[in-house]
Amino acid sequence: MKDVIRMLIAPLAWLGSFSAVYGLHGLLCGHWIGGAVSDVPLARTLLIGAYGLAMLIQLTLLVALYHPRIGAPPGLVRFVSRATGWVGLVATGWSLFPVVVTTYCS
Amino acid sequence: MNALERHRKLTAIWASEPGFRGWFSTVNHNDLGRMFLVTSFFFFIIGGLLAMLIRVQLATPHSAFAGPEIYNQIFTMHGTIMMFLFAIPTFEGLAIYLLPKILGTRDLAFPRLTAYGFWCYAFGGTMMLTAMVFGIAPDGGWFMYPPLTGAIHSPGINTDFWLIGITFVEISAIAAAVEITVSILKFRAPGMSLDKMPIFAWYALITALMILTGFPPLILGSILLEVERAFGFPFFQVELGGDSLLWQHLFWLFGHPEVYIIFLPAAGVISTVLPVMCRTTLLGYGWIVASAVALAFLSFGLWVHHMFTTGIPHMGLAFFSAASTLVAVPTGVQIFAWIGTMWKGRPELRLPMLHLLGFFFTFVIGGLTGVMVAVVPFDWQAHDTAFITAHLHYVLFGGFVFPIFAGVYYWLPHVTGRKRFFHLGEFAFALVFLGFHVTFLAMHWVGLLGQRRRISTYAPEDGWTAINLISSVGSFVLAIGIGMILIDVVLHALTATRGRRNPWGAGTLEWAMMTPAPAYNFASLPHVTGREPLTLLPDLATALARGEGYLGEPRHGWRETLTVDIASGKPDMHVLYPANTRLPILMSAVTGVFFVSLLLKFYWTIPVAVVGVAYLAWRWAWVLGRTDDPQVRPVGHGVELPDAAATDRPPGWWGSVFLLTANATFFGSLLFGFAFLWTIAPGWPPPRWFAASPVWLGAGIIGAVLSPVSMRLAIRTNRRGGGPVPGVVLSLAGTAALGLTCAAMMLGTPPPAEHAYNATLFVLGSYGLFHATLAMLMTVFLAARVLRGFTSAVRRAEFAIVGLWIDYACITGVLILLAGHLPTLLS
Amino acid sequence: MLAGAALILTLVIVLVSLSFRRGDSADTKADGDGVRQVRVWIVGLGLVFPMTVLAALLAYGLFIGERLLPRAADDVARVGAEGRLSAWTFTYEDAPGRRTEGMLHIPAGRPVDVAITTVDVIHSFWVPRLAGKLDAIPGRVNVLRIEADAPGRYEGVSAEFSGVGYDGFTFTVTAHDPSEWDAFLRGNPE
């Protein structure tokens, strides 16, 4: 079962982060948040912060999956878990990038 | 004993009852797999006939063929039947038939559950057909958006048929998914570690997990909409705090994974059949496994791309546009891995290969148009036009139907044991391929010209006539081609000559048995040392038939198999299956009474049906087990295994884990719905809030902590040889307290029909009450088992299973109470 | 996009077809995967190629999407489109109280924000030649930015299935040059 978890954890974390950032965006739009942090509107700062946190989580997972004690022993499970580890990282970077470049709440 | 005698003994033990009586009591995966496939292709024909009616209607402008009332039913049923009654059940049937064979074992994890799932599918499908025959079929489009499908705008019973009938059928999907997951993880041949599993098993496992997490949002949505229609709870009515967008989110949370649930098994077929057609092995096995996992997860992050035109802000849309483009990458990895396999090998243009070529051409086009509509501004033009209809048929027909046809022709010699005689297949393929593209290619263009989906007719001045007429002609060619394939299959089954056992020279285990497959699959179970066991040991079939594998000596009339450790494939449990029984069909029929009662609003038969299901479920579990401790049993090759009842993680525990995963997704969707309505729906805050009470909240939490703790104490006491009954009774009391507080919450909410907030709290409370009651019933069952001597310090499996359900009821119960009481208490 | 898609499809067809011509290679039942094979097919064609194309496409799509948003501008005209089964009623911010059925009047050459609403089920406001579509969702106002470059008539349809009556659920948009638009606002019947 631990092997199954190793193979699924990074994409699962992506799904969680993705939903959380999308939900954060919905919350920010539903309850207007004013203010700014050094010329960047607070809402965007929060979104980018969440993006950064999501990337950090993915990096941590990737490092863990490559770690000799936490990751799987050599074989298919190790290959697949590292591959899905990269999937999680790339998916987070790619799919949440719009927090930086697109207009929110309209 | 020799091979023939072994075969006779095993057949006597494993066979179903003879004749069609056997259909009603069979629990054998061979029979049930075939029953699923025959039924699913029956629905394929019905769906196809509906498609032909659609094309007749659209062939000419101002068509006089059918009015909009009937046409709306035709296209709704076409989509509904193809998605729910053909595609998913075909996967179920293929998986049920094939998995025990390729995994080197005797049957799936829960044979009676397989049968129950089949009958729910059969009865639910019959409900839908009945609606069609009586002209009261659902007519709101296969995704049934409210408010159109609400009580005001769809007052008839049509919509209720969809909401209730499809939910009934989905029980089949959930049951199959639980079964497939546990079977692939635990019920494999010794030595078959995860990395030696055939690739189809990986795809099926991933698909099953997707079903468990993808179907519950739809089940929730269907229940909420039906409750709205029947009792006026305004989940989707914006004037009363609901939101029609909630349905869209719930539906597409299901709907997008659904299409990957349809594609992935077909990809599994391709990954299996293509290397054999190319006389080589699959390129990039590990990459393909990782891609399938990536595809599964990414598919859960795409759902809003069906809602690009609903007014969601651009950043929100951009997330989903990005994810929708990204999903093409793991898809591309698989496609190029397959082409690379072809380059690695020596591809031969045999009949299954033709259909795989059909897949490549068609699915790639569908994928390319999919990437186009992932671009938001383009989708703003293409959405709800015939362009989308064309796209979805390209990916579904290309990505599912062609590979399944390839699989049909590939495994047909296995199912029938015969060699192909008539050569209709090649000509039929040509008709299908030609017919499909003539029907759907130009449909992209007419969509870009502005033809909308779901219109029953159009005007000559629109300029769409020529393309529609050509498309309709093409659809008849397609239908003829498909008809020829089905005739070809039937002819093959009835008339072809006996063929040899492994006509394709494949290396996977399903070819290491006699064909057609005997009821018991393998006379003895193999020890697996590689991904292509038959290639490594060409004489494997005869060796197994001679009893040289595990469990080669039938004894005591038992239906025996064994389970393995998930990762390593080391044998770990000995399992005895139940025999033929009518319990599944009976249980399914009583479940059907429940659903039909809801449909017809015969509310007095509902409690009868519920009690009936509970009684049958009790019997279902009661007939297993024994009143004395089992011995450790030899299974061959010097291995001795404990009985499953004498372990901490029996198959039933695993089944519960995965069923609870689906359940948790359902609950999570309910919480999501609550949060969505609270933050996004326009009509909030509600006129009055729930009158929270720290007393009730505290009592509920105490009960929810007491119950699992007591059960753990009972388990520990039992393990040490003491009496677990006090702990069990204490646990029961805790669960009862929790249930009472949930009931109090239900009674304390303001009238549910007044506002969505009230309605949601009421539903949350009823969910908590239901699960507390379920847990209590299981606890009483457990106490009865203890008192009757079915448990002991060794026979401890049932405690573990009940413990899981108690934990679940209590965790969700606490969350429910907090959702109800906390907001008011905090403000 | 069409050209790119056609190229990719051709690439796939060519690769699949060529695989049938490779009969000479000796070691065809290779059980292991050659490193070169993996690098070419899976990494090169499966990962690098799609990701490059998709990144470019996504960037383009997001850029265009941003440009279509209804941003503040000086000369925006505002109208309302209220959908119901099966007709549209249009209102005009610059001519309060004025309502037209089935025909929307807008000034040509100026951005127009259409506030889309519904009184019953979900509809969708779509004038293909002027803009993409935007749904009318109960309880919400969705604003679509349209702009007609030249005066004339533009056909529109509701693009969300709404049951019986959906087939004929159409409307027309008339874009006026400035003098005609003033005349319309002043109350000339049109």
Asked which of B464, B499, B534 is the last residue of a domain, the reply is B499
Residue that terminates a domain, selected from B499, B522, B553: B499
Q: Between chains, do C40 and B340 touch, taking CB under 8 Å as contact?
A: yes
Question: Which residues of chain A are within 8 Å of residue C69 when distances are taken between CB atoms?
Answer: 103, 106
* Radius of gyration, alpha carbons of chain C: 26
In a mutational test of the A interface, the residue from C58, C64, C68 whose CB has the highest number of chain A CBs within 10 Å is C58
Interface touch B297/A99, C-beta < 8 Å: no
Question: Does residue B610 sit in the same domain as residue B514?
Answer: no
Question: Residue ranges of the alpha helices (H) in B503-582?
Answer: 533-536, 540-545
First-last CA distance in chain B: 78
CB contact at 8 A, B162 and B595: no
Chain C, nearest residue to B276 by Cα? C29
| Alpha-carbon span B242 to B757, nearest angstrom | 8
Contact list, C84 vs chain B (CB under 8 Å): none
| pLDDT per position as a tens digit, B75-130 | 999 999 999 999 999 999 999 999 999 999 999 999 999 999 999 999 999 999 99
The two beta strands, C170-176 and C103-107, are parallel
Would residue B352 count as lying in a domain? yes
Specify whether B406 is located in the same domain as B519.
no
Nearest in space to B14 (alpha carbons), one of B450, B576, B484, B435:
B576
pLDDT at C22: 63
| 8 Å CB contact between B398 and B358 | yes
For residues B596 and B569, membership in a common domain is answered with no
Beta-bridge mates of residue B573: B563
- B601 lies in a domain? yes
Residues of chain C with pLDDT under 50: 26, 28-29
CATH code assigned at B716: 1.20.120.80
Share of chain B above pLDDT 70, in %: 100
Q: Token pair for residue B350?
A: 């045999």
Q: Which residues of A touch B313 (CB under 8 A)?
A: 25, 29, 103-106
B332 touches chain C (CB under 8 A): yes
Question: Which residues neighbour B176 within 8 Å (Cβ) at sequence distance 6 or greater?
Answer: B92, B95, B96, B114, B117, B208, B211
Cα–Cα distance between B176 and B171 in angstroms, integer?
8
Answer yes or no: is pLDDT of B18 > 60.
yes
Task: Determine, yes or no, domain membership for B64.
Answer: no
**Pairwise CB contact (< 8 Å): A99 & B315:** yes
Distances (CA, A) of B783 to B223, B509, B593, B616, B715: 33, 43, 30, 18, 12
B414 CB-contact burial (10 Å; exposed 0-12 / middle 13-18 / buried 19+): buried
- What phi and psi values does residue B815 have, to the nearest 5 degrees? -60, -40
Nearest CA to B384 among B54, B145, B681, B150? B145
Cβ atoms A87, B290 nearer than 8 A = yes
Angle (CA) B510 B513 B516, round 5°: 90
Same domain, B733 and B694: yes
Residue B650 lies in a domain: yes
CB atoms B313 and A31 under 8 Å? no
Q: How far is C184 from chain A (nearest CA, A)?
A: 31
Q: Which of B144, B183, B150, B156 is nearest to B32 (CA)?
A: B183
The answer to whether the CB atoms of C66 and A103 lie below 8 A apart is yes
Closest CA to A99 of A44, A32, A30, A41: A44
Residue A98 sits at the chain C interface (C-beta within 8 Å): yes
Would the CB atoms of A25 and B315 count as touching at under 8 Å? yes
B504: distance to nearest CA of chain A, Å?
27
Pairwise CA distance, residues B164 & C112, whole Å:
45
B294–A contact, CB cutoff 8 A: yes
Dist CA B778 CA C94 (whole Å):
68
Contact by Cβ (8 Å): B711, B776: no
What is the rounded CA–CA span in Å between residue B245 and residue B251? 10
Residues B649 and B559 grouped into a single domain: no
Same domain, B652 and B762: yes
Parent domain of B469: 347-499
Mean pLDDT in residue range B602-622? 96
Average pLDDT, rounded, for chain B: 95
Cα B587 to Cα B148: distance, rounded to the nearest angstrom: 35
Q: What is the pLDDT of residues A71-101, one digit of tens each?
A: 888 999 999 999 999 999 999 999 999 999 9
Chain C residues with CB inside 8 Å of A94's CB? 55
Which of C55, C62, C70 has the CB atom closest to A101's CB atom?
C62
Chain A touched by B664 (CB under 8 Å): no
- Token pair of B43 as six digits: 């629905």
C contacts of B336 (beta carbons < 8 Å): 41-42, 45-46
Instruction: Name the residue facing A84 among B290, B318, B680 (closest C-beta).
Output: B290
pLDDT score, position A21:
95
* B677 and B818, same domain (yes or no): yes
How many angstroms separate the CA atoms of B807 and B705, rounded?
9
Residue B715 lies in a domain: yes
Does B520 share its domain with B651? Answer: no
C87 DSSP β-pair partners: C84
Contact B638, B570 (CB under 8 A): no
Of the listed ranges A3-7, B263-267, B708-712, C31-35, the least confidently predicted one is C31-35
**One domain, residues B475 and B565:** no
Cβ of residue A103 closer than 8 Å to a chain C Cβ: yes
Pairing of strands C99-101, B633-636: unpaired
* Residue with more model confidence, C27 or B392: B392
How many CB atoms lie under 10 A from the CB of residue C155? 15
Q: Are residues B739 and B593 in the same domain?
A: yes
Neighbours of C9 (CB within 10 A): 16
B39: Cβ–Cβ under 8 A, 6 or more apart, which residues?
B89, B93, B118, B121, B122, B125
Task: Provide, rounded to the nearest whole percent, the portion of chain B with pLDDT above 90.
Answer: 94
AA letter at B612: G
B396 domain residue, yes or no: yes
Last residue of a domain, one of B522, B555, B576: B576
Tokens of residue B617, six digits: 């479920």
pLDDT given for residue A31 in this prediction: 77
Å between C113 CA and nearest CA of chain A: 13
Tell me how close the Cα of A102 comes to any Cα of chain C, in angstroms: 7
Residue B765 confidence (pLDDT) above 60:
yes
Beta carbons within 10 angstroms of residue B630's beta carbon: 16
- Kindly compute the dihedral angle of the four CA atoms of residues B799, B805, B807, B813, in this order, to the nearest 10 degrees: -150
Omega before B147 cis (within 30°)? yes
Pairwise CB contact (< 8 Å): A95 & B323 = yes
**Residue ranges of B 562-581 with Cβ closer than 8 A to chain A:** 566-567
Give the distance from residue A9's alpha carbon to the nearest chain C alpha carbon, in angstroms: 21
Burial class (CB in 10 A: 0-12, 13-18, 19+), B299: buried
Tell whether B565 and B419 lie within a shared domain: no
Q: Is B522 part of any domain?
A: yes
Alpha carbons B508 and B96: distance in angstroms, whole number: 16
Q: For the residues B295-314, what does the mean pLDDT come to?
A: 96
The Cα C171–Cα B182 span in angstroms is: 56
Q: Is residue B812 part of a domain?
A: yes
**What is the amino acid identity at position B220?**
L
Decide if pLDDT at B419 tops 90. Answer: no
Half-sphere exposure of B353 (CA within 13 A, CB side): 18
- Contact with chain B for residue A44, Cβ under 8 A: no
- B679–A98 CB contact, under 8 Å: no
Of the partner residues C58, C68, C160, the one whose CB lies closest to the CB of residue B384: C160
Res. B827 pLDDT band, cuts 50 70 90:
confident
Å from A55 to nearest chain B CA? 15
Q: How many domains does chain B have?
A: 3
Q: Most B CBs within 10 Å: which of A6, A94, A102, A105, as the mutation test of the B interface?
A: A102
Q: Which chain C residue has its CA at the smallest distance from A91's CA?
A: C51
How many angstroms separate the CA atoms of B615 and C89, rounded? 58
Strands B639-641 and B633-636: antiparallel
What CA–CA distance (Å, rounded) separates B518 from B76? Answer: 41
Q: Which residues in chain B (63-92) have CB-CB distances under 8 A to chain C?
A: 68-69, 72
pLDDT of residue C24: 53
